[in-house]
Amino acid sequence: MLELNPILVKDLRSRMRGARAYVLLTIYLLILSGVTLLLYAALAGSIGNDLNAGRQIGRTLFLTIASVALVEVCLITPVLTSGSIAGEKERQTYDLLIASLLTPWQLVWGKLASALAFALLLIAAVAPVMSLAFLFGGVSLAEVVIAMVGLVVTAVLYATIGLFWSALTRSSLGATSFALGSVILILLGIPFLIVIATLILGRDVSSDFLEAPLFIYLSRLFIAAHPFIALGVTATQISSGENIFVEVVEAGASSVVVPSPWLLYSFLSLIFTMVLLFFCVRLLNPTRPVTTEAPARAKQTGAPDGA
Amino acid sequence: MTAIVETLDLTRRYGTNLALDHLNLTIPEGAIFGFIGPNGAGKTTTMRILTTLLPPSAGEARVAGVSVTGDPRAVRRLVGFMPDFFGVYDNMKSWEYLDFFGRAYGVAAPRRQQMIGELLDLVDLGHKRDEPVMSLSRGMKQRLSLARTMMHDPRLLILDEPASGLDPRARIELRELLKELRALGKTIMISSHILTELAEMCTHIAIIERGRLLAAGEVQQILRSIRAHRIVEIRVVAGAARAEELLRSHPEVLELRREGERDGEDASPLDDASGPHLLLVDFAGDERAMGELLAALIASDVRVSHFAEQAGDLEDIFLHVTRGIV
Ligand SMILES: Nc1ncnc2c1ncn2[C@@H]1O[C@H](COP(=O)(O)OP(=O)(O)OP(=O)(O)O)[C@@H](O)[C@H]1O
Ligand SMILES: [Mg+2]
């Protein structure tokens, strides 16, 4: 008989048993609907009553809801997982799990799945609010689907980032700080680097370089690592009538076909997720006793073991 | 009896600190094996290696013939481990706790239900089945942990200081419980730095200090080997210097120490004015020879107020062994 992952069962049980999950869900929805209402009140007063105005309201609402939901997913999902493995270490149950017949992969997957189950609940809760925007028109179904895909992909990657720190550090507090630190680094670091790069490249770089396909690919890939930029650019492209899946970049005489930013983003996120999961599984392998010992001690033990 | 645990030159280093130094242990199947040593001796380190939680730096450890580094999963199936702390989850009832670990060991659902009932009864927690784990007392948590180690019906139980923090009554209960487990055919390895705790229930003991095995074997056998030379306490009121001289040259005196001093290196002769002196003699002779020794002391005008063999229970073995006398 096939049994559910034990970690998943246990964590879902305890997550849903406490009041925390419901408080979090309520706060999340309150923020989302509060912003929506405020925005609607502001827009409804300033824009006229014709059909176009309705579309405009719908579109603005959609973009706002998607952005707020994305911010919330970026900040909540790493916190959901960062306490998971570190929490086992704090409760001193970590050794018991490692000494059991659970495989490291089962442990990692159980922790991730229980956090994702909750994250998906949060994302699913966005749907009714989004359908409100849908009612006004101005938003295509494709856009809604892309937004949802973007949210899910973000949830998976950022949950894995939290999980990675959780496997690496000993305390949940440390793991949570590192996880949120990484998220902030990604969200602020990439735009910062983009600005720097534009400043440098804007001055004295030949157009040959800027129009080389390799540069075009790499720069798009880099930009697409940022969820807001990737999804925002996609939204602009779709509203200006471009293809959903590809973007054609004019480079001098020829043109280069690049996948749409949201596709690039999903692809990148998937790769990073898999790499991080790989490291998580390695960290949980007791033949590398890094995780159960103080970092300073772990460093000491590392050397003779490696030999 | 066949060996369920075997270690061959097992060595573990933490940086430059040698926690285990070429340890060679053998635990026969069906034994209650007391693993004794002072703080920092390497007991926990050995147990963590045997439960595959820690890789050895060198040497080998086998459980039922399976190498802990070669096939850790097979070893985990054979071993139930109770660390020297309880890992408990808040928000979890006693039966759920056992259920979770049953799942973690891949115990099928119907068997799990049956085991939970049986084990809770065995550790006398049947009435706490639906209580949150956090609400249990220390002794109850300890017993629940013990039930947890049994969920997958392992052949070997490794219990790291299970009696620490328990009151005398709970210790007795624990002892009874371990005897029951032994009757069920389990081999039990149990560590402690308190010897009396293990004295009556163990069939075998091993004494370890600073990562080295000092003595190992059946309890009776170790007691006998210790008895071969006994420690005689002699309290001298007058003529201590003469007494020392006589004792040093006596063929059956293996070692002579003054009370409160480690190596007996102090060469200055004892002064009777500084009060009565207690001499500890490691004596290889039998009871008759002891009588002769006393007579010899008296004959050379030494005034003795106390002359007795130290009561030799396990506690003494431990003290002597770890002092390096044996
Ligand atoms: N994680 C670690 N990092 C570095 N050194 C360690 C670590 N764990 C144990 N040691 C060292 O290894 C030696 C043996 O420790 P161990 O915990 O095995 O002793 P023990 O016999 O269980 O002692 P106790 O009775 O206090 O539990 C000690 O010198 C200790 O300082
Ligand atoms: Mg210990």
Question: What average pLDDT does the structure give for chain A?
Answer: 85
CATH of the domain at B101: 3.40.50.300
- The answer to whether the beta carbons of residues B256 and B248 sit under 8 Å apart is yes
With a cut of 90, say whether residue B169 has pLDDT above it.
no
Ligand 1 pocket, residue B45 CB under 6 Å: yes
CATH of the domain at B254: 3.30.70.260
Residue with structure tokens 């390895």?
Answer: B189
Mean pLDDT of A4-12: 91
A138 by Cβ neighbours in 10 Å (0-12 / 13-18 / 19+) ranks as buried
pTM of the model: 0.81
The answer to the question of residue B321 being in a domain is: no
Instruction: Provide, as residue numbers in chain B, all residues whose Cβ is less than 8 Å from the Cβ of A92.
Output: 83, 85-87
With a cut of 50, say whether residue A67 has pLDDT above it.
yes
With a cut of 70, say whether residue B7 has pLDDT above it.
yes
pLDDT for res B312: 55
- Residues B257, B198 share a domain: no
pLDDT tens figures, B73-97: 999 999 999 998 888 888 899 999 9
> Given CB atoms, is A52 within the 8 Å cutoff of chain B?
no
The answer to the question of residue B248 being in a domain is: yes
With a cut of 70, say whether residue A176 has pLDDT above it.
yes
The Cα–Cα gap between A282 and A305 comes to 15
pLDDT for res A282: 92
pLDDT for res A214: 86
- Residues B245, B180 share a domain: no
- Residues B38, B105 share a domain: yes
- Residues B265, B294 share a domain: yes
pLDDT for res A305: 38
The answer to the question of residue B323 being in a domain is: no
With a cut of 50, say whether residue A299 has pLDDT above it.
no
pLDDT tens figures, B226-246: 556 678 889 999 888 889 888
ipTM value of the model? 0.82
Question: E strands within B93-244?
Answer: 156-159, 187-192, 204-209, 212-218, 230-238
- Residues B136, B279 share a domain: no
Give B273's contacts (C-beta < 8 A, 6+ positions apart): none
Most confident of A40-44, A283-287, B177-181: B177-181
pLDDT for res A289: 44
Instruction: Provide, as residue numbers in chain B, all residues whose Cβ is less than 8 Å from the Cβ of A17.
Output: 91
DSSP A18: S
The Cα–Cα gap between B187 and B182 comes to 6
> Given CB atoms, is A285 within the 8 Å cutoff of chain B?
no
Closest by alpha carbon to B232, among B322, B314, B297? B297
Q: Which amino acid is at B191?
A: S
pLDDT for res A35: 87
Q: Which residue has the higher pLDDT, B71 or B287?
A: B71
- Report the number of distinct structural domains present in chain B: 2
SS3 B58: strand
pLDDT for res B139: 87
> Given CB atoms, is A20 within the 8 Å cutoff of chain B?
no
- The answer to whether the beta carbons of residues B14 and B44 sit under 8 Å apart is no
With a cut of 90, say whether residue A47 has pLDDT above it.
no
DSSP B128: G
**What range does the domain containing B91 cover?**
3-224
Please calculate the CA angle A227-A231-A236 and round it to the nearest 5 degrees. 150
B47 by Cβ neighbours in 10 Å (0-12 / 13-18 / 19+) ranks as buried
- Residues B278, B210 share a domain: no
With a cut of 50, say whether residue A290 has pLDDT above it.
no
pLDDT for res A293: 40
The Cα–Cα gap between B109 and B118 comes to 14
Instruction: Provide, as residue numbers in chain A, all residues whose Cβ is less than 8 Å from the Cβ of B85.
Output: 92
- Residues B172, B28 share a domain: yes
Mean pLDDT of A103-131: 90
Window from A166-180, B2-16, B300-314 with minimum mean pLDDT: B300-314
Q: Which of B20, B91, B151, B156 to probe by mutation at the A interface, max A CB count within 10 Å? A: B91
pLDDT for res B228: 60
- pLDDT more than 70, % of chain B: 89
- Residues B206, B136 share a domain: yes
Window from A283-297, B48-62, B307-321 with minimum mean pLDDT: A283-297
pLDDT for res B315: 60
pLDDT class of B294 with cuts at 50, 70, 90: very high
Mean pLDDT of B140-151: 93
